[in-house]
Amino acid sequence: MFSANTVIGQTGSFAKEKPREEGHEFKWPAEGLTTVPDWIYTSPEIYEREVERIFHGRTWNFVALEAEIPNPGDYKRSFVGPTPVVVSRNTDGTVHVFENRCAHRGVEFCRQPLGNAKEFVCPYHSWSYDLVGNLQGIPFKRGVKGEGGGMPKDFKNADHNLTKLKVTVLHGVVFASFAEDMEPIEAYLSPEILKDFNVVFKDRKLKILGYYRNELPGNWKLYHENLKDPYHATLLHSFLVTFGLMVAGSKNGMIADPKGRHGTLASAKPDNVATALDDEVKKEMRAYREDFKLADGRFLDYVREFDSPWSVTMQTIWPNFIVQRELNTLGIRHIVPNGPHSQIMLWTMFGYDTDDEEMTRHRLRQGNLMGPSGFLGLEDNEAIKFLQEGVRRSPSERGVLKLGGTSTGSTNSVIDEAAIRGMYAYYREEMGL
């Protein structure tokens, strides 16, 4: 069921989801970062401010992988925040991003998820644009002979190009920004985050394995929280816990950048989880299932293909990008915020061009962990949906983030919410809250 199908408490019907009275000032609770007010997940004004200040503000937004558009003329229909854009490769090989909105009447002209074109032509009145978004042709620009009409004499094509975004490419990953004066992407990511980003992308040629797309009926920030929340990973996900992919008591880390906006949730898988965990730890984890044995254990094999101490790194890159390295299943998730109570999640799964047939099949088998039917993925989608329903429908107004005290940023313990607090410290600054 899509969020638009909600019957009990239709989305937008609760007081918390409605615009506040004129002049209302949103105030973060006095307790600070150990308390999260529900209105950051439900308020339409807060959502609008997020689009303006975050997605359209000083951020690098993921838009595409270069492997999706390898050849001149290749394009991808994408999004920056909720805003439709086109990512296009020009004849000279450079990558360009512009709004998917005809400069004439506003038609979202590009409809194919991926394709190849010599030019972009708006289907409504045939205005045409080149591969970098410059207006090329307008039919009957000078009118029809004998009948007049047409554009005024002072009309200049150059004044009516598509709205272009700033673009940067790092190791095959394409980012775009509405801001003119963004710092270089390496500085934006920070050395702390760049390290594990490079493990996946640097000096690698990706081979796209395919796509998943889903609507997740929860606020977009909840997905960032989920991956800055190692606590849940050890409690919700039977697969992680039972097979030792991430358990309390083994080697884990939650690495944040100095600003607190990005994160890497990292874990090193013990060889044998049954012996690595003491009984006290097992008792705390209800999801641990001693009786659960796989009939086909191949799909949890770990081929050590990376120079990294971690077998798992889940990176949250502010504001719309997730990099998944879960053993050998690799992918990215592109978050498209869709109002306060919904997000569209676009997943691209990949391997490397050096993979042989068996490695490709290993990644395909292991892919069962993630995605909207993944053993882990579907549990996250359910939990986030439940959370959104809880904050929407309940008159209570606060969530609690007290694990690990009041600290913010990186931690070694998984029983800690410091990375979520760190993200909200940054968020409050950006949002003026």
Partner 1 sequence: MYAGYDMQAVDAKSVRELRFEIEEFHTEYCNMLDRGALDQWVDFFAEDSLYRITARENADAGLRVGLVYAEGRGMIRDRAFAIMHTQMFAPRYMQHFTSNVQVISVEGPDLGLGDGSLIKAQSNYLLLQTLVDGPTTIHQSGRYYDTFVREKGRLLIRERQCIYDTVLIANDLVYPV
Q: Helix, strand or coil for residue 174?
A: strand
Shortest reach from residue 114's CB to partner 1, in Å: 8
Residue 165 makes contact with partner 1 by CB under 8 A: no
Q: What does the alpha-carbon distance between residue 334 and residue 348 come to, in Å, rounded to a whole number?
A: 8
Which residue of 221, 341, 385, 392 would you call a contact of partner 1, by CB under 8 A? 385
Which residue of 1, 15, 30, 144 would you call a contact of partner 1, by CB under 8 A? 1
C-alpha atoms less than 13 angstroms from C-alpha of 122 in its C-beta half-sphere: 25
Return the range that interacts with partner 1 (CB under 8 A); candidates 191-199, 315-323, 372-380, 414-422.
372-380
Residue 14 makes contact with partner 1 by CB under 8 A: no
Return the range that interacts with partner 1 (CB under 8 A); candidates 3-11, 245-253, 272-280, 320-328.
3-11
Site string for partner 1, 342-371 (x = CB under 8 A): --x----x----------xx--xx-xx--x
Return the range that interacts with partner 1 (CB under 8 A); candidates 136-144, 189-197, 208-216, 311-319.
208-216
Token representation of residue 85: 């854009």
Residue 208 makes contact with partner 1 by CB under 8 A: yes
Which residue of 213, 259, 393, 428 would you call a contact of partner 1, by CB under 8 A? 213
Residue 386 makes contact with partner 1 by CB under 8 A: yes
Residue 7 makes contact with partner 1 by CB under 8 A: yes
- Would you give the distance in Å from CA 143 to the centre of its chain? 46
Residue 346 neighbours by CB under 8 Å, 6+ apart: 79, 211, 212, 213, 333, 334, 336
**Across the strands, what pairs with 337?**
343
What is the chain's alpha carbon radius of gyration, rounded to the nearest angstrom? 23
Shortest reach from residue 294's CB to partner 1, in Å: 5
- Let me know: does 108 contact 84? Beta carbons within 8 Å: yes
Which residue of 236, 403, 418, 423 would you call a contact of partner 1, by CB under 8 A? 236
Which residue of 124, 140, 155, 292 would you call a contact of partner 1, by CB under 8 A? 292
Token representation of residue 304: 């050590």
Residue 294 makes contact with partner 1 by CB under 8 A: yes
Q: What does the alpha-carbon distance between residue 297 and residue 272 come to, in Å, rounded to a whole number?
A: 13
Residue 422 makes contact with partner 1 by CB under 8 A: no
Token representation of residue 267: 């874990």
Residue 407 makes contact with partner 1 by CB under 8 A: no
The DSSP result for 371-412, as a single string, is STTSTTHHHHHHHHHHHHHHHHH-S--EEE--TTTT--S-BS
- Residue 46 phi/psi, 5-degree rounding, is -65, -40
Residue 257 makes contact with partner 1 by CB under 8 A: no
- Let me know: does 243 contact 236? Beta carbons within 8 Å: no
- Residue 418 phi/psi, 5-degree rounding, is -60, -35
Residue 117 makes contact with partner 1 by CB under 8 A: no
Shortest reach from residue 116's CB to partner 1, in Å: 13
Tell me how many residues contact partner 1 (CB under 8 A): 49
Residue 372 makes contact with partner 1 by CB under 8 A: yes
Closest Cα partner for 136 from 151, 121, 153, 155? 121
- Let me know: does 137 contact 121? Beta carbons within 8 Å: no
Closer CB to partner 1, 108 or 382, in the complex: 382
Residue 18 makes contact with partner 1 by CB under 8 A: no
Cis preceding-peptide flag for 319 (omega within 30 of 0): yes
Shortest reach from residue 385's CB to partner 1, in Å: 6
Q: Residues interacting with partner 1, by CB under 8 A?
A: 1-2, 5-8, 113-114, 208-217, 236, 238-239, 242, 287, 289, 292, 294-296, 299, 344, 349, 360-361, 364-365, 367-368, 371-373, 375, 377-379, 381-383, 385-386
